[in-house]
Chains A and B, each alone.
Chain A
Amino acid sequence: MKPTYGRVSRYGLIAFASSLDQIGPFARSVDDAAITLSLMAGFDPLDATSSDRPGLEVLNNSAGGVKGMRLGVPREYYDVKGIEPGVKAAIDAALFILRNAGAEIVDVSLPHTDYGLAAYYIIAPAECSSNLARFDGVRYGLAEVDAANITDEYLQTRRKGFGTEVRRRVMLGTYALSSGYYDAYYLKAQKVRTLIKRDFDEAFKKCDAIVSATSPTVAFPIGSKTQDPLSMYLCDVLTLGGNLAGLPGISVPCGTSDGLPVGLQVLGPQWGESVVLRVARAYEEASEIRTGVASPSPLQGRG
């Protein structure tokens, strides 16, 4: 689960993209996620972007079911380019279950979906390139101390210490912020971000939560896409929008395709964790997935 941006303090979290980073729990059940989140959330004087806004009354609400709730299905997500048939089938089954549990399924639209990936891959690498500048070998970490001068020390230490994907993002982000490209890339991406957020604001006027697949495809083998980063990035196309808009979201297991798990994504409005958890909990219960994976009771060990 990923909470609303600002719900959980980022102090202590090694920053990747500061305006997107948010800590969320991985759990074996929605209840566990809810309980864990309730303990993690809140204002931290060491994080100026953290907040103690309400909206976390999950423990009382999550069992309330979806009867009477309106769940939006964005057509741009449902028919996203490259979605695997098996994934689509799993989502159809999930929507059927939710409808049976009393939810009303409504059509919504997120018109700027096609631009989410592009905006994300400017904003995140730009912030990343700045956040990773502190790894310079002077105060901690790997250091090529025998370099002839400080610039060589930086160049060698950072070339050696960062992996391929990190270097790729640092390069991309540095380029997007550099003189002459800032307006065309970084500023443009920030404006598109505004439009993406507005899309969600509009959609949430018509529904309580948004449901979709978490990814258009099931997991690909490790290392199979490193030479084609764009196709790898495209797997994130359904989660980037919510991320850019700072929304709370959760992914719950909803069957398999080709023997690999498919995720059902539930997105709520900002500070709407309680809605997200309630929908996820209702699905988990109705789909009986819970019985298959959940531990005996929330947060209790097996003894």
Chain B
Amino acid sequence: MPLSKDEVRHVAMLARLGLEAGDVEFYADQLSGILAHIDRLQQVDTEHIAPTAQVVEIASRLREDEPRPSLTQEEALANASATVDGFFRVPAIQEET
């Protein structure tokens, strides 16, 4: 089924992908084309089929509760664009409109 422009905007917001001029039309067109192909999945009868999330059966291995060295604060912050007093700095978190 084709994607509406509103759906594109909604999905872009969920994915936190900014939209520039022409992006909405571009995604709507391209994703609709791919989804038209993907819609053939609906033809397959999967009534009694279990989903496969992991294809290889690997026994679960748990980690022993033994500490390993952490990074230093300097190392942890080394690649960040903005830091303050040992913290990562981020712009305002606005929760209301």
Contact = CB atoms under 8 A, between A and B. Distances in A.
**Touch between chains A and B, by CB atoms below 8 Å:** yes
Interface of A: 4-6, 19, 45, 48-51, 112, 114-115, 117-119, 121-122, 129, 133, 136-141, 143, 145-156, 158-160, 162, 167-168, 170-172, 174-175, 178, 184-185, 187-195, 197, 229-230, 233, 244-246, 270
Contacts of B34: 121, 172, 229-230, 233
Interface string B1-21: 001000110111011111110
Contacts of A133: 16
B17 A230 contact: no
Contacts of B91: 145-150, 152-153
A178 B40 contact: no
9 contacts: A19-B54, A49-B58, A51-B56, A112-B44, A122-B41, A145-B89, A155-B16, A155-B19, A188-B46
Interface SS of A by simple majority: helix
Nearest to A167: B17
Interface bin, chain B? 35 or more
7 closest A-B pairs (Cβ-Cβ)?
A: A159-B18, A190-B51, A155-B18, A140-B79, A246-B55, A191-B46, A143-B81
B21 to A, nearest CB: 12
A146 B88 CA distance: 14
Contacts of A137: 81
A156 to B, nearest CB: 5
Contacts of A194: 46, 49-52
Contact of A175 (B31, B41, B44, B63): B31
A190 B37 contact: no
B97 to A, nearest CB: 11
Contact of B55 (A5, A121, A160): A5
A136 B44 CA distance: 38
Contacts of B90: 138, 150, 153
Contact of B11 (A121, A155, A174): A174
Nearest to A136: B16
B49 A129 contact: no
B53 A171 contact: no
Contact of A192 (B14, B46, B53, B55): B46
